[in-house]
Structure 1
Amino acid sequence: MSVNLQVSNLTVTYGAIAAVRGVSFSAAAGEIVTIVGANGAGKTTVLNALCGLRTIGGGAIVLDGEDITALPPHERVRRGISQVPEGRRLFGRMTVAENLEIGGYTRSDRAEKRHDLDHVLELFPRLKERYRQLAGTLSGGEQQMVAMGRALMARPRFLLLDEPTMGLAPQIVDLVLESIKRVNREGVTILLVEQNAYRALEIADRAFVLESGEISLTGPGDVLLNHPQVRSAYLGFDG
C-alpha cells in the first residue's frame, strides 16, 4: 500500500508550551489510523496542524509526495484533506441542505457534486428527512451526520475525524462508526481521534498513543487493543 500521508517531526507550540513535540507517523492509502490519548495530549492539535488551522513550529507534512506544510487550509481541501471537527461546528441557523452545500464550496463540477450529495443522503437517510430543517434544531447524532456529510461533499481522499461519537447514544455511536468504515471501504483514508478508545481501536488498521504531545506507543489496532498499558490507561482494564 502506498503512503498517502507522511508527517515528520511535527512540532506545535502555544507560546512557550510545546503542545506537540517531534511527532512522526504515516497513513497509507485506504487505512484507518487512530490516535489514542488523554484530554490535553495534543490529538486535536495534530489534526488542526494537518488541515492548516494551526501553525507548526517545525516538521513537515507530505501528502502523496507533495510537501503541503506551508499551504493554507483551502488549498489543503483542494488537495483532498477534509476535517470533521470536534463539536461539529455546524451553521445552526442554516438548513441541512445549506450546510452540505458549503462542504463543496471549492468545487465547480455541478453534476459530480449532485452525485456526491445523493451519496451523502444515501449514507445518512435521516438527513434526507431533515433536509430543509435548521441544523441547530437537530439531535446530536443528526448533527454529526451533517458534519460528516459536509466534509464528504469536498470529495476527500483523506478524512480527519475529531471525536465523532462524543456525547452520542450507543446506537448512534454504532451508526457513526459503521459509516466511517463504509467511507473507508470506498477508498478514503481515515485519521480518527476518538475518546472511545476501545471502539476506535476495533476498527483501526494502525494506531498510536499520544502522551503529553509525544508518541509513546504505535502498532496495529488489534495489538494496541490488547496492550497492557493501553488497556489500563484508556480501556478501563487492569493489566
Structure 2
Amino acid sequence: MDLKAKTISVFAIFFFFLSSFPNNLHAHDLEVDDETPFTYEHTEKGPEGWGKIDPHWRICNTGKFQSPIDLTNQRVSLINYGAWSRQYQPALASLKNRGHDIMVSWKGDAGKITIRQKEFKLVQCHWHSPSEHTVNGTRYDMELHMVHQSDRGKLAVIGVLFKLGQPNKFLTKLLNGIKAIGKEEINIGIVNPHDIIRFQTRKFYRYIGSLTVPPCTEGVIWTVVKRVNTISAEQIAALRNAVHDGFETNSRPVQNTHSRTVWYYDPNV
C-alpha cells in the first residue's frame, strides 16, 4: 500500500472513530464561563480534582482522551497527505475576561477550517500561560487556542505555541483593551483571524483529545502548529494580570495519552 492510500485508510478510521463521540454538544459540554468552582492551584479544586467538583466534569479525571499531551517524536506517525485548509475572513468581534482566561469572540462569520471535507466555523480564541501542550517535554511561555465548531457540534481547536521574544502583532493591537478590561465584554470591531496566524502552518501535530478546561469534553480534533511564534514579556504579563487570582498561570498539566496515535504532518517527508 503506498503512502497516499495508507493515509486515506488511516483517516477513514480516524473519522469513523470520531463519530463515536456525541454529535450535539449541550451547554454543559462547552468551555465553562463561570470559573468560580475550579482553579489551577494545587488544591482540591485544582486540575487533579476537577472531576469531583461537578457531575458533568467527571470525565476530567476518568477520560481516556484528555488534553493537553506531550507531543513527543517517539509517538508520532508521519503523514504528508490530506491535511487541512483555512478560509478565514474579517468579522465583528469582542474581548471578554472569563476570569480563567482572556477570550476574543467573533460575533459575525469569521470563516472556517476544513479537515477531510468536514467544516468547522471559527468561534473564539483565548490564551494559556505557560503553554499546555509540550513538545518532547518542552513547555513554552504561552499557547493560543483557536476554537472551531461544526454544524453538528464537533469541535476542532488549533493550538499555537509561543516563546519569549519579539511582541506578537495580533496581541499588540489588543494590549490596551486587555490591560483595561473589567467584567464587561468590550466590542473591538472588525478582527481578521489571518492576523493571528499569518506564518506558515504546513507542519503540525494532530490527535483526538478534549477541552483543557472543565467540563473536559472529549472528541476534540487538535491541530498543534509546529512553528513556535514569539511573544513579549509585557504581553504575557498583561494576560496574566487581567485574569482573576489563581489563574495567572492557567495551564492544565499534560495528560496520559493512553496509547493514542498522534499524527505529524510534514509535506517534505
TM-score (norm 2): 0.23
The structure with the greater share of residues assigned to strand is 2
Structure 1 length normalisation: TM-score? 0.25
More helix by share: 1
